[in-house]
Amino acid sequence: MSRFRRKSFSALLTVAAAAGLVAGAAAAPAATAATEASVGKVVGYFTEWGVYDRNYHVKNIETSGSASKLTHINYAFGNVTNGGCAIGDAYADYQKTYDAAGSVDGVADTWDQPLAGSFNQLKKLKAKHPGLKVIWSFGGWTWSGGFGQAAQNPAAFADSCYNLVNDPRWAGVFDGIDIDWEYPNACGLSCDTSGAAAYKNLMAALRAKFGSQLVTSAITADGTDGGKIDAADYAGAAQYVDWYNVMTYDYFGAWAAQGPTAPHSPLSSYDGIPTAGFYSDAAIQKLKGKGVPADKLLLGIGFYGRGWTGVTKDAPGGTATGPAPGKYEQGIEDYKVLKTSCPATGTVAGTAYAKCGGDWWSYDTPSTIAGKVDYARQQGLGGAMFWELSGDTTDGELITAVAK
């Protein structure tokens, strides 16, 4: 996607793809432990391409106060190609050098040091927060097409990924792997025909190879009958994963250019919802009903909004003429921008919406996130996951609501 070059939840979705749901040092250990004990896991995605136009670096995780509230960072994305795992962006990952002002610990990189880039900064961040774990996420919207070939030889794929994640050049940076396959035995940017068992077989091979290291996966939140949750054996694969990051957002958006306007991350159903089963609770209940343990499910939260323009109706359900303008891509904008450019004017189905001029947006606020966290607790879920860190305010307004 143009804004997030490999963002797993691209606004370049087709309508069919959208149906998949469419991805202080001394105090840190105590803070991380307290976070997990009180609200479960708090997992945030960091995008490798954010260091470019978005100017969001690992140091921003520290200065925003987010590092002490996170239990895990998912580094997105590594590529999936030729049946194995591969580097996504070598320069951003381990070559880019930082001066003292841009470095997590205030120490400048040198030209001859063995490791630089975001990997080295993450290593420094972990040194300041010893309880923090970092997981390397592979695939995403753009690079999920490689999983079909990977599924033909799961053991070889697992070997490749293990060797890359645990490469001696960045030893100590990563604590495991996250698989973001969009979508096994179903359609995303491309269509996969690997079969219903392929996903389970892939995750089994990863667990066998990674042993006690973390193995997690971002999965569809399609709660419809016969939808993407039904297309693969997520229940069978659950025994091999530490948890699932359920992508309970991007249900609706301006890929349906004329509307109807609808919240992209509804927690519950509501009168007039465009597609039955396109809401968070439907997905969570469907997964639990299939036998996935509740504590292996993390509720997904978006740190961004989706919007339309040419809208006259304040409430959801209005017609539109196309996507609302966004800084990096039409139809999508960061929370940190929307909170002032188009403040929330109402709530529906546990999330917020905003009407300003002819533009209509939906996004989560600290208040609606508090409601979603309460829901996660009531359901016995393992915590919450969010996409992605750079969408938050400079003082971590949304992550504070997640971890509170």
At residue 205, does pLDDT exceed 70? yes
The whole-number pLDDT of residue 39 equals 59
At residue 338, does pLDDT exceed 90? yes
The whole-number pLDDT of residue 404 equals 85
* pLDDT band of 132, cuts 50, 70, 90: very high
Identify whether the C-beta of residue 373 lies closer than 8 Å to the C-beta of residue 402: yes
Q: Does some domain include residue 184?
A: yes
* pLDDT band of 183, cuts 50, 70, 90: very high
The whole-number pLDDT of residue 174 equals 98
- Tokens representing 154 are 């799961």
Distances (CA, A) of 294 to 224, 243, 298: 19, 9, 8
How large is the average pLDDT for residues 274-286? 98
The whole-number pLDDT of residue 36 equals 52
Q: Which residues constitute the domain of residue 115?
A: 15-302+364-403
How large is the average pLDDT for residues 285-312? 98
At residue 11, does pLDDT exceed 90? no
Identify whether the C-beta of residue 264 lies closer than 8 Å to the C-beta of residue 254: no
Neighbours of 226 (CB within 10 A): 9
The whole-number pLDDT of residue 74 equals 99
DSSP-assigned letters across all residues of 390-404: GGS-TT-HHHHHHH-
Q: Does some domain include residue 197?
A: yes
Tell me, yes or no, if the pTM score tops 0.95: no
* pLDDT band of 104, cuts 50, 70, 90: very high
Q: Does some domain include residue 2?
A: no
* pLDDT band of 241, cuts 50, 70, 90: very high
Q: Does some domain include residue 316?
A: no
Q: How far apart are CA 73 and CA 64, in angstroms?
A: 14
At residue 377, does pLDDT exceed 50? yes
Q: Does some domain include residue 334?
A: no
Helix (H, G, I), strand (E, B) or coil at 397: helix
Number of structural domains found in the chain = 1
The whole-number pLDDT of residue 38 equals 53
Distances (CA, A) of 228 to 18, 284, 357: 11, 13, 36
Q: How many helices (H) and strands (E) does the chain have?
A: 15, 15
Residue tagged 């961004």 (tokens): 304
> Counting beta carbons within 10 angstroms of the beta carbon of residue 102, is it exposed (0 to 12), middle (13 to 18) or buried (19 or more)?
middle
Fill in the amino acid letter for 238. Answer: A
Higher pLDDT, 167 or 7: 167
Q: How far apart are CA 290 and CA 65, in angstroms?
A: 38
Supply the angle between the helices 28-39 and 366-378 in degrees, to the nearest 10: 60
The whole-number pLDDT of residue 15 equals 33
Higher pLDDT, 28 or 120: 120
CA–centroid distance for 374 within its chain: 20
Identify whether the C-beta of residue 298 lies closer than 8 Å to the C-beta of residue 374: no
- Tokens representing 136 are 């390397």
At residue 272, does pLDDT exceed 90? yes
Q: Does some domain include residue 331?
A: no
Radius of gyration of the chain (CA): 20
DSSP 305: E
Q: Is 36 a catalytic residue?
A: no
How large is the average pLDDT for residues 140-158? 98
Mean pLDDT of the chain: 92
Helix (H, G, I), strand (E, B) or coil at 33: helix
The whole-number pLDDT of residue 29 equals 39
Q: How far apart are CA 322 and CA 256, in angstroms?
A: 8
Q: Does some domain include residue 158?
A: yes
Q: Does some domain include residue 376?
A: yes
The whole-number pLDDT of residue 345 equals 97
Helix (H, G, I), strand (E, B) or coil at 78: strand
For residue 185, give the CATH number of its domain: 3.20.20.80
At residue 191, does pLDDT exceed 90? yes
At residue 379, does pLDDT exceed 60? yes
Catalytic residue, chosen from 48, 182, 333, 397, is: 182
The whole-number pLDDT of residue 103 equals 98
Q: What percent of the chain lies above the pLDDT cut of 70?
A: 90
Q: What percent of the chain lies above the pLDDT cut of 90?
A: 90
